């Protein structure tokens, strides 16, 4: 488990799946993810072209950078993953705290000599009331709130979860792309 914090927030990230399992307000020790009564945390999904091969949950993630307020983990293809998803890739996720915000950045590199088809996303369990607008979802309970915003992901709040996914994308050979989402705690 990797933990980062600043004067306002503390985040815990499980290396298994690179998923965030705790998002705690230092002021009142409130865990925004613990509210749901689940240890699921925020699940990462890649390449999600067919739901049977979510390499983000199956392959090992490695911590490649760690500071007080940020942690980066990377996922790299293996001979096993290449058999069913014949592409060489690297996915890096960075969790970085800035005041009352958590920025989650995804970096995807296609190391193959051919286009890499993929979609990328995450699922956050939530039983909170939600309000949606363009590129933003606001989650609210009696005393707390979170704004989830991104121009890189399609956001939706339904069926007890918030999802953020890209459409199917073709990443050119030997290229890379960044995606970002921001959680602002209120």
**Cβ neighbours of 157 (radius 10 Å):** 19
Which structural domain, as residue segments, surrounds residue 144? 1-183
The SS3 call for residue 83 is helix
Give yes or no for residue 38 having a pLDDT over 80.
no
C-alpha distances out from residue 67 to 96, 118, 167, Å: 9, 30, 32
Average per-residue pLDDT in the chain? 89
Measured distance CA(153)–CA(57) in Å, rounded: 20
Q: What is the CATH number of the domain that holds 18?
A: 2.70.98.10
Q: Which pLDDT band holds residue 52 (cuts at 50, 70, 90)?
A: low
Query: What is the structure's pLDDT at 37?
Result: 44
**39 vs 110, residue with greater confidence:** 110
User: Domain total for the chain?
Assistant: 1
């Amino acid at each position: 488990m990797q933990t980062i914090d600043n004067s306002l927030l503390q985040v815990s990230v499980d290396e298994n799946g690179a998923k965030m399992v705790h998002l705690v307000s230092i002021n009142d020790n409130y865990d925004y993810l613990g509210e749901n009564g689940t240890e699921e945390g925020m699940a990462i999904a890649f390449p999600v072209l067919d739901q049977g091969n979510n390499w983000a949950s199956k392959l090992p993630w490695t911590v490649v950078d760690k500071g007080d307020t940020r942690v980066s983990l990377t996922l790299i293809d293996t001979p096993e993953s290449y058999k069913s998803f014949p592409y060489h890739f690297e996915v890096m996720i960075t969790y970085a705290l800035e005041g009352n915000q958590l920025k989650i950045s995804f970096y995807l590199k296609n190391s193959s000599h051919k286009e890499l088809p993929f979609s990328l996303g995450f699922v956050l369990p939530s039983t909170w009331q939600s309000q949606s607008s363009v590129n933003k979802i606001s989650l609210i309970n009696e005393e707390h709130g979170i704004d989830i915003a991104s121009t890189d992901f399609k956001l939706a709040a339904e069926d007890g979860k918030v999802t953020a996914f890209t459409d199917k994308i073709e990443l050119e050979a030997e290229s890379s792309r960044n995606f970002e989402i921001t959680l602002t705690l209120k």
